[in-house]
Amino acid sequence: MDVFNALKISSSALKAQTIRLNTIASNIANIDTTRTPEGGPYQKKEVVFQSNGSFADNLEQSLKGSVQGVDVAAIRSNQAPPRIIYDPSHPDANDEGYVAKPNVNLVEEIADMTSATRAYEANVTVVKSVKRMALKALEIGR
């Protein structure tokens, strides 16, 4: 694998993890949003990753020993039901006093955020290592 492939792969991972972190931030920001333009409470968003390239490309590259980067395939809404909380004073409470809250769990979001941050940091380390290796290779030629 050449230096540019390593940089391309790591940059795709950095972009994907940035989108994942932005999605997590959106989930946390909307943890108490009970009204959306679509109606009802906010629904947690999830990022779906996929290897970039078609199946044929991936097969051909895997036979050559090459590796692929990552793309964001979709950002989808989690279809879990909303949390139902009893709060008759809330403006969005139904006739019985229950409010539908978003299906966002703060503990899960923080765990996902930590995982995304670690993956991002690991890819930054790869980019720094590739840069260091390229500079060392240039020094050999002197």
Mean pLDDT of the chain: 90
Predicted model pTM: 0.83
Task: Give the structural domain span for 83.
Answer: 3-140
Q: Give per-residue pLDDT as tens, 78-104.
A: 999 999 999 999 999 999 999 999 999
Contacts (Cβ under 8 Å, ≥6 apart) of 8: 69
Give the DSSP per-residue string, 7-60. HHHHHHHHHHHHHHHHHHHHHHHTTT----TTSSS---EEEEEEESS-HHHHHH
Per the structure, the count of domains in the chain is 1
Q: Tokens 């972190």 correspond to what residue?
A: 21
Which pLDDT does position 54 carry in this prediction? 59
Query: Worst-scoring range by mean pLDDT, 79-88, 107-116, 131-140?
Result: 131-140
